[in-house]
Chains A and B, each alone.
Chain A
């Protein structure tokens, strides 16, 4: 099967790759662009560990074909911090122990950041429903929800 040439932008940088038409965006991010922060937990869009943004929209990269990235901008967990400065969500997740094993953390951070960009003052229910597509098996979500709520509060107060 012949490979397809794709031009895209990942975390602000131009990126190009050759891919099999069956490969997912997640496959290419991980195996070709060496951005292994996005994880494959299921490959069927049920766990959210592969969450990225596509032109600012939250998607499961395991459900996006790599060829669909042509001409679009991708945002991954590796692009959340600005240089050495962590995003407030990242800081708060460490502080609150909002992770245990950490495998779901990249996806949850991408999803939570996307929520706060849309809704800077979410209720607990809104956070819980927004993150319902991101499975965490370790924490029972308690500390994750608190970290997101508290980050939102800090960010509102800072702005």
Chain B
């Protein structure tokens, strides 16, 4: 059905029913990663490097092996020997192995070097102290700019991808360059050019559930793995590669997942637990501590960025260029390309050029964090636009509207945009009472746009009808924030059965075809599309059964409100046949009725957001409060609007933490100094205001109902919007995140000194 025909015609889409797993989640019944038990289960613990960079000369496990309750110890020797390093991302499985368990060198503070399985968690931890590791400390580097300098220690030779220009430091693992037009000519046309340098610190996804798994692997090569992950097929594939298993022999079940935000797309402990289980021939449970999560799982990249934009007096942007240096830890893979590609995407530019550097340091391997790279890029770009508007006396919203990308715009990163909703979010922001509300003394207002690509990816969904006409729907994308509700709504819409009659499960790896990770804001888009198609497949079969019963052609039957009905001039007169009447007899009329769909949908529509923030800065303490916050974002079509609002609010809150307080702090010794929630302080309830939301719906032509991903775009504008608000409130441009009280005081003092 064409999108226009659907408009307003939905029965279930856009309603706000209770989520199917709500009861489990409010009663403590839901089983997360650490909540599984198995008989005979051992507990495991991992020994980690206290050095930022050190050669591992010797590991002596003999005393630990002799300790009470210890059943197995593994080191790198217990994993595959068949993987080889390779330049760029070609050797990614080797990189993952190297990260999961160090080889001859510990590459960062917290890098795993050995692991123990014992009869209790305490016995395992006690045994760690008995493992003797002889280290030879090496020079280290943790700062992105320093890591690119000629005298920086080399993390690993030969990593640079083929695209990296000659002559750069070996720590530069990846390089991206794109754009169009002639930026120098564009800058020459400008009435004002602003160029500035920006810095952001690494932040952690900060999911409240530490990584946890329960593994069982026998000598027969058959395994069972339970873990909290955003993508269990990926876990299956990676673990098989790291342990020389046949992929299909390892069945992985995704537990409920206590937050991920990109950080649970990576594999850290699962291969270790499987290796221990294989060695001990017992099930092994492995749960990370919070400090391990901070030290050894993926924070996002820290950045160093240069942004230059030229503007005419009327607000037209004449040229834009950016250089984005991303610190990605001790491995290649920092999203330098995506950072560069997102940077100027909101604007229709004749002349644009962007460069990204993926730089290695002695820090944990960065992992995806909600729209990887885009929030930092937006911080630089939108700060410069704000500064241009200030200096030219222009309204920041009107200026963005004047330059906004729209359908047909050649994007800064290459392709032509299809139908997009940036202009609509800007207009909605302009119309929102927040934008014109008076500010109190000491307060400042900031706005920013944000962009994210969104993603489709490999997807398989299966739907089975029960004899009573109810529906079992199996999807393969872990439910991080209520996606079971939106899947059930989409299936209900097609099948015409009540929402409550649909049971949605997250199937294990043995039950469906490959499902890519829940990432790229792809779940409601891709699993949703597959759910719709699977339901349509079932409907087709239901109609065929009715046609056979009525003795009319299959195409003379259509599906309406949960019933087969005759359709067309020659179909004859029959009363509607409800779903349950067909399913009750399905055993005798051709067997079980199921629908399924497998594909790699590629029509994930890109999305944009505009945020408005009011902040207040205390000039005595440097403390910033966010006093009002409004998120305006294009959702394409909100399947379950309450959960869409939740994504908007959650992204904004994480952005507030990133902008104001969160940062990885490394000492001179290269050790992480704040690996606990006490010192790495994420926003708490008393830090935040209510977060207002406006859902804009500009349908994505690539989805049957118009859905665009919503999970990631919401974190793209906050860093810049807050920086612009804080800069307005403090009267000084803030160019470094987080804008913590000491940094604000320093900026204020510097300004007073300069004045």
Interface residues of A (CB under 8 A from B): 20, 22-23, 27, 30-31, 34-44, 46-47, 49, 76-78, 80-81, 86, 90, 93-97, 99-106, 109, 125, 127-129, 131-146
Contacts and interface: CB of A to CB of B under 8 A. Distances in A.
Nearest to A46: B677
B690 A142 contact: yes
Interface in B694-734: none
A86 B24 CA distance: 11
A139 B649 CA distance: 6
B8 to A, nearest CB: 24
A82 B50 CA distance: 49
A86 B26 contact: yes
Tell which of A102, A125, A134 has the most Cβ of chain B within 10 Å: A102
A75 to B, nearest CB: 12
Q: Most A CB atoms within 10 A — which of B26, B27, B678?
A: B26
Given A46-B677, A102-B256, A103-B258, A41 B210 contact: yes
B122 A22 contact: yes
A80 B26 CA distance: 9
B66 interface: no
Given A101-B480, A132-B684, A142 B649 contact: yes
A137 B682 contact: yes
Contacts of A138: 259, 481, 646, 650
Chain A interface main SS type: loop
B94 interface: no
Q: Ordered nearest first, which 10 A-B pairs have the shortest CB separation?
A: A37-B28, A103-B258, A140-B653, A102-B25, A94-B22, A46-B677, A140-B649, A100-B481, A77-B28, A90-B26
B691 A142 contact: yes
B304 to A, nearest CB: 27
Interface in B456-513: 480-482
Interface of B: 16, 18-19, 21-32, 34-35, 37, 120-122, 205-210, 256-261, 287, 289-290, 480-482, 642-643, 645-646, 649-650, 652-654, 676-678, 682-688, 690-691
A43 B289 CA distance: 7
B22 to A, nearest CB: 4
Contact of B207 (A23, A101, A129): A101
B122 A20 contact: yes
A31 B290 CA distance: 18
A93 B26 contact: yes
A45 B686 CA distance: 17
B426 to A, nearest CB: 22
A74 to B, nearest CB: 13
Given A128-B685, A142-B690, A137 B652 contact: no
Contacts of B29: 37
Contacts of A143: 642, 645-646, 649
A46 B676 contact: yes
Nearest to B24: A102
Contacts of A81: 27
A41 B212 CA distance: 11
A134 B652 CA distance: 18
A103 to B, nearest CB: 3
Given A36-B31, A135-B208, A136-B208, A109 B26 contact: yes
Contact of A80 (B27, B206, B652): B27
Contacts of A132: 684-687
Nearest to B204: A137
A44 B32 CA distance: 20
B46 to A, nearest CB: 15
Nearest to A145: B685
28 contacts: A37-B28, A40-B287, A46-B677, A47-B208, A49-B208, A78-B28, A95-B18, A96-B642, A99-B22, A99-B25, A100-B480, A100-B481, A100-B646, A101-B256, A102-B25, A102-B26, A102-B30, A102-B258, A103-B258, A103-B259, A104-B258, A137-B205, A137-B208, A138-B481, A139-B646, A140-B652, A141-B683, A141-B685
Contacts of B261: 137
